Amino acid sequence: MSLFLRYFWLALLVTAIGLLGSFWPGYSHEQSIQTGFRIFFITSILSVLEISLSFDNAIVNAKILKDMSPAWQRRFLTWGILIAVFGMRIVFPVAIVAIAASIGPVEAIRLAAGEPERYAQIMQDAHIGVAAFGGTFLLMVALSYFFDAEKDVHWLGPIEQMVAEKGTIVQGIEIGLVLALLVAFHYCLPQEDALTFLLAGVFGLLSFLAVHTFAEIMESRQQVMSAAAQGGFATFMYLEVLDASFSFDGVIGAFALSNNLFVIAIGLGIGAMYVRSMTIMLVELGTLASYRYLENGAFWAVLFLAVVMYFQTIFHIPEVVTGGFGVVLIGLSLWSSVRWNRVNRDIFHDGPQVIEEADGKRITVSDRTVLLPHD
């Protein structure tokens, strides 16, 4: 319990304040306890929805965050939470409505407060472009992981190994696959939505490539600034775009439960706090290294989410299905990791060291890596 409080005390505090804040406006507006509890319940459901959709987000964040300098880790966990909670849960929906309806941001906020039904309808109408952009970005994230020639831990052995080998043979194969999917789905949509989907998807692909190109340029300028600062800033930018892509599905889906922007912001903001706390815990406890296949499971969940976002442009898929299947994939990878650790517990090591094998080979073990047993 003390370990849980160590990492989640702030999330629990935000939960208490947020849920109380959601109950009071509903009660004071209509002087109805029933209305207050109804909004309280919707806010709670939105929080759970965000957490279930974001298990893979926390694991992917932790994978990238563990290689950043401590200074940039702190910046991501402080500045990043402000961007995630206020930027993606409040500014992003307002910006989408302002652009889609060709109105100013002040008018968009007025719509959110005074005409929530019209506001929600504009958000739903913008779903095609948002899903295409976010789905394409996440698809590139997942495929880049699986087509990595240096990837040597394979949860679904033959499948992941074969895909990694294809990445060695055909450079940029993931870009071709994404473009092919974009064109295929483009033909499945009505004519008035097809071009929007295709353009938004291309922008999602270009955004992914731009962020990675930016990171490479920053890393190549070691003579100008420190390597830690370069990699930190570039990675910070990548994580923010990645966070945004994960949030698209939850933000759009939240309007199925409530038309009130502020209720949605509170509910999803509470969920985002738990995701951040989970990320910190995964990094500080070295959980990814302790559980061999957890990272693989998270990227399979990301791949599933990306494909679901594509299919949601054709027909509705309940968010509970999206989040639930992602949790199942991560749970299975965790179970596989625990089984692997039990079988190989006799050669589990805590910390970097070099082991001299009988045949003279030297194996370096870094940061809680588990070695396969000898034949």
Same domain, 324 and 227: yes
| 20 and 131 part of one domain | yes
Residue 180 pLDDT > 90, yes or no?
yes
Question: How far, in whole angstroms, is CA 84 from its chain's centroid?
Answer: 11
Q: Are residues 307 and 371 in the same domain?
A: no
Q: What is the mean pLDDT of residues 91-112?
A: 80
Question: Same domain, yes or no, for 256 and 301?
Answer: yes
Q: Are residues 306 and 283 in the same domain?
A: yes
pLDDT for residue 247: 72
Provide the angle, in degrees to the nearest 10, between the axes of the packed helices 261-285 and 92-101: 130
Structural contact between residues 177 and 331, judged by C-beta atoms closer than 8 angstroms: no
Q: Which domain holds residue 339?
A: 2-343
- Residue 358 sits in the same domain as residue 307: no
The reply to whether 312 and 367 lie within a common domain is no
pTM passes above 0.75: no
Amino acid 177: pLDDT: 92
Whether residues 276 and 375 fall in one domain? no
Mean pLDDT comparison of 171-175, 217-221, 285-289, highest-scoring range: 171-175
Q: How many domains does the chain have?
A: 2
- Output the pLDDT for position 53: 67
Higher-pLDDT residue of 291 and 170 is: 291
372 & 253 share domain: no
Q: Is the pLDDT of residue 166 over 60?
A: yes
Task: Give yes or no: residues 62 and 28 share one domain.
Answer: yes
178 and 312 within one domain: yes
pLDDT at residue 50 tops 90? no
- Tell me which of 46 and 359 has the higher pLDDT: 46
More confidently predicted of 95 and 360: 95
Are 101 and 240 in a shared domain? yes
